[in-house]
Amino acid sequence: MIELARFPHAQPARMFAGVLKAQGIASVLHEEDGQTVMHLEDPARFDEARTLLEAFARNPNDPRFSDAAWQASEPAQPRQGEGGQPPLFSGRWLSGMGPVTKLVLIVTLLVYLSPMLFGSGIYRALMFPPTLEGLMSQPWRLFTPMLLHFGVLHIAFNLLWWLDLGRTIERYQSSLQLVWVTLVTSGISSLAQFLASGPAFGGLSGVVYGLLGYLWLYGRVNPHAGYALRREIVIFMLVWLVICYVGLAGIVANEAHLAGLISGCVLGALTGYYRRRRFYERSDK
């Protein structure tokens, strides 16, 4: 074996070990003089590992590194000065957004502006079909209602939450994880709202509550991950859910909100439990 680097803290060392593992480079970590020392099992791959380490040192929050750590079930690296807590409306959305978060943002804005240029045709094409039989022939319309918004406040509220919650999943876990959590919660919330009120609905709010529930339960079940929703965020959104249900906020998609929240909580709890088990299994080896 050959020594590659010494880290002042164990967490970034474990994260980088996940990066190396994704490249097929085996490493060994041990504590020495208050530092975490990393050795490579194959000295022939020292130069390749050193190049990766230099890139990691320059930008440890690069998505390729966080994705590798997520796949290796290592804790994500908390951001400096934030105690691992994702900020609410932090003002750093653009720098923290991954490709999926940006794509949904752009497409949602384009769809919202489309009636000004093309009339209501795009909206009608993206709405939930009038019957479940129609959904069988156009299954994508189970998900496309999340792109539809019916006012400036409607789209602004949903996109602000989407940016903050979506980028947290994409940054600390992976783009693929955000995609499948979004699709599952979108489909469940759309179906629930259709069964309750018919096809005339739209918006990202069901997904937003899904992401909220996912991060909330994931952080509680798997606290070693290093990030979790702040308590006041969860309380605010749950209070808003109740306000909407008692009819104090006008016409809203209550069933979509509740179904999105419940489905997100289930996904977060299951994923958190699986990741926690993998982490302790790796720690015991």
Active-site positions read 205, 257
- 26-31 long-range contacts, CB within 8 A, separation 24+: 28/1
* Dist CA 129 CA 138 (whole Å): 8
Residue 188's nearest CA partner among 253, 102, 251, 241 is 253
* Dist CA 27 CA 21 (whole Å): 8
> CA 209 → CA 80, 164, 276, distances in Å?
27, 12, 23
Q: Which residues contact 228 (CB under 8 A, 6 or more apart)?
A: 84, 85, 215, 216, 218, 219, 220
* Dist CA 258 CA 256 (whole Å): 6
Q: Kindly compute the dihedral angle of the four CA atoms of residues 202, 208, 209, 210, in this order, to the nearest 10 degrees.
A: 100
Residue 73 DSSP label = T
